[in-house]
Amino acid sequence: MKAKERIQARNLRSQGFSIREIAEQVCCAKSSVSEWVRDIPLTDAQIQRLESKQDRARAKAANHQNSPKSVWALIRNNIEESAKREIPRQCQGSVLKVIGSALYWAEGYKASKNTINFSNSDPRMISLMMKFFREVCRVPENKFRGMVHIHPHLNREQAETFWSKTSRIPLKQFHKTQFGISRASKHKRDSLPLGTFRIVVCDTRLKSKIQGWINGIEEWA
């Protein structure tokens, strides 16, 4: 038995050093050090120090440029950037018509024959659909209506201002904000701090036209 190393290891353990730190200092295997010091209790402060060091070490290792996490993050980023370049920089014309119609097919309210309703919590989705309605559908600005749906405890004015800026629909053309708990939120009351926004357009002819575009897309299947 390495008596000198064992004494040194026990002394270091009493000071709160980790098994790995002790093994490095006494130049012994961690398994040996663990056996030598397993009966030495640590104070709460020493335990907290070791846990903090372990957390920092894990975080540092995970963020190292050669760690699996970092390597895969780089791989995913390169794939995403390459795929992004496959998409046209501008969305307009027939491409915008297909995208807007497909999104309405997926997310829009289709039961009404007279009213167009599109709701979403992603401001980029709302901006894209407003582009579709303005540039493809040629909806006059005075026909747009907006409506915010949020949890009761959230800031109504802040949400209304945000969605008005996002959609460029004036607040005076907003319907009364609706308060309620969405089933989709799964009781996570602050998961959507600005709620969801609904674009509303009353136009029977346009609703029929959008449905026709959707019917055309369906034939691709």
Confidence of residue 16 (pLDDT cuts 50, 70, 90): confident
102 and 8, same structural domain?
no
Q: Mean pLDDT lowest for which of 21-25, 64-68, 116-120, 190-194? A: 64-68
Domain shared by 7 and 57, yes or no: yes
What is the structure's pLDDT at 58? Answer: 60
Domain boundary residue, one of 62, 85, 107: 62
Question: Which pLDDT score is estimated for 115?
Answer: 96
pLDDT of residue 188: 52
Q: How many CA atoms lie within 13 A of 53 on its CB side?
A: 12
Query: What does the pLDDT read at residue 92?
Result: 79
When mean pLDDT is compared across 62-71, 111-120, 153-162, 192-201, the lowest value belongs to: 62-71
Residues 37 and 128 in one domain: no
Mean pLDDT estimate for the chain = 86
Q: Based on the fold, state whether residues 111 and 56 are members of the same structural domain.
A: no
pLDDT at 162 over 70: yes
Burial class (CB in 10 A: 0-12, 13-18, 19+), 113: exposed
Of 18, 15, 30, 12, residue with least CA distance to 55 = 18
User: Residue 2: CB partners within 8 Å, gap ≥ 6?
Assistant: 28, 32
| Alpha-carbon separation of residue 50 from 32, 44, 194 (angstroms) | 19, 10, 41
Residue 69 within a domain: no
Domain identity same for 51 and 159: no
Tell me: do 146 and 191 sit in the same domain.
yes
Q: What is the pLDDT of residue 114?
A: 93
Q: Same structural domain for residues 129 and 177? A: yes
Q: 116 and 204 in one domain? A: yes
| 19: pLDDT strictly greater than 60 | yes
Query: pLDDT (tens digit, 9 = 90+) per residue, 107-152?
Result: 999 899 999 999 999 999 999 999 999 999 999 999 999 999 998 8
Last residue of a domain, one of 40, 62, 84: 62
Task: Give me the pLDDT at residue 165, please.
Answer: 97
Q: Using the predicted structure, report yes or no on whether residue 94 has a pLDDT greater than 70.
A: yes
- CATH number of the domain where residue 176 is located: 3.30.1330
Could you give the number of structural domains in the chain? Answer: 2
One domain, residues 136 and 201:
yes
Same domain membership, residue 197 and residue 129: yes
86 within domain boundaries: no
Domain span at residue 52 reads 3-62
Same domain, yes or no: 110 and 155: yes
* 39 and 102 within one domain: no
- pLDDT tens across 26-84, in order? 888 888 888 888 888 877 777 777 777 765 666 556 556 676 767 787 888 889 889 98
pLDDT of residue 26: 87
Q: Specify if 43 maps to a domain.
A: yes
| 72, part of any domain | no
Residue by residue, DSSP assigns 112-130 as -SSEEEEEES-HHHHHHHH
Residue 141: inside a domain: yes
Kindly indicate the confidence band of residue 169, based on its pLDDT and cuts at 50, 70 and 90. very high
